[in-house]
């Protein structure tokens, strides 16, 4: 799917830590050597969380953004358990040890595909890899449309960054911003013609997004967030049943063409 990108073990320093809304943290990291190695939208890093036997295993976190000049790596973390809550307590100056970039990212249109009109559909913290993908598309002269959803307004993160890169449509379950309901119910599915769908978020959401894309005959790629341990294809704890058999999400994904998945 993507050209092979070299994996690294990196010690990066926190330069900015920001709680975007309750429980959601944007972490900006820099390298002592000045540049962060190449990464591809949809790839992830395995983050070491020090200080507790509970967090012995590294935690997989998507690359939220690699700035165009490669000076900063951003992670967007939803604090849900011991590991992510520990990450939420980092402060400026702390060091974070990462392995990455890991996995295969989204397939990008070639630079001569000007008439492509991609729809990027994200739910909750699943919007994280879509910011980097949006930046990469924009760099290629393609204006993406983002369809972002959450339970309520405070679940929609980094809106101002998405708006700089493309058109943004929103849904919330309580109707506090955008159309009320789920991303799969948004009117944009009936009004615009898309050539490619990319999605990341809770599995039921992605399954339904894939179903709509399939009905509308639009190619669709989904970034899966199966539970992981090694992140390297060795422990088999992240497998997904596909038309090609069981595949490790960490090494064969996390991004899959949904026609390969047994979802529809």
Binding site residues, ligand FES, CB under 6 A? 228-231, 233-238, 248, 250
As given in the structure block, the two tokens for residue 245 are 């058999």
Q: Is 44 in the site for ligand FAD (CB under 6 A)?
A: yes
Which one of residues 18, 21, 81, 111 is an interface residue with ligand FAD (CB under 6 A)?
81
Q: Are 52 and 66 in contact (CB under 8 A)?
A: no
Q: How far apart are CA 69 and CA 57, in angstroms?
A: 31
Give the nearest distance from C-beta 45 to ligand FAD in angstroms: 9
- How many C-beta neighbours within 10 Å does residue 113 have? 14
Query: To the nearest whole angstrom, how small is the minimum distance from the Cβ of residue 81 to ligand FAD?
Result: 2
Closer residue to ligand FES (CB): 72 or 240: 240
Q: Which is nearer to ligand FAD, 45 or 218 (CB)?
A: 45
Q: How far apart are CA 83 and CA 59, in angstroms?
A: 7
| Least CB distance to ligand FAD at residue 165 (A) | 18
Shortest reach from residue 226's CB to ligand FAD, in Å: 6
Task: List the one residue out of 227, 201, 222 whose CA is nearest residue 211.
Answer: 222
Contact of residue 76 among ligand FES, ligand FAD, none (CB under 5-8 Å per partner type): ligand FAD
Where helices occur in the chain by DSSP H, the ranges are 82-88, 128-139, 159-165, 188-191, 203-215, 249-252
**156 binds ligand FAD, rule: CB under 6 A:** no
């Amino acid at each position: 799917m993507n050209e092979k990108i070299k994996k690294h073990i990196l010690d990066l320093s926190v330069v900015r830590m920001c709680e975007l809304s309750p429980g959601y943290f944007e972490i900006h990291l820099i390298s002592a050597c000045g540049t962060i190695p190449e990464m591809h939208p949809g790839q992830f890093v395995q983050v070491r969380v020090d200080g507790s036997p509970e967090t012995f295993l590294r935690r997989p976190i998507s690359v939220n953004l690699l700035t165009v000049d490669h000076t900063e790596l951003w992670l967007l973390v939803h604090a849900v358990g011991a590991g992510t809550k520990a990450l939420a307590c980092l402060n400026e100056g702390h060091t974070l040890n990462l392995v990455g970039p890991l996995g295969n990212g989204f397939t990008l249109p070639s630079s001569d595909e000007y008439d492509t009109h991609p729809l990027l559909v994200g739910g909750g913290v699943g919007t994280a890899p879509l910011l980097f993908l949006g930046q990469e598309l924009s760099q290629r002269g393609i204006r993406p449309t983002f369809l972002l959803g959450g339970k309520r307004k405070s679940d929609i993160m980094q809106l101002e960054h998405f708006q700089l890169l493309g058109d943004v449509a929103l849904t919330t379950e309580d109707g506090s911003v955008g159309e009320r309901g789920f991303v799969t119910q948004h009117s944009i599915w009936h009004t615009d013609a898309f050539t490619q769908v990319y999605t990341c978020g809770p599995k039921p959401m992605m399954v339904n997004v894939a179903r709509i894309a399939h009905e509308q005959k639009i190619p669709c790629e989904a970034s899966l967030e199966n539970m992981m341990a090694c992140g390297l294809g060795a422990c088999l704890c992240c497998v997904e049943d596909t038309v090609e058999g069981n595949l490790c999400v960490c090494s064969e994904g996390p991004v899959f063409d949904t026609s390969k998945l047994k979802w529809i």
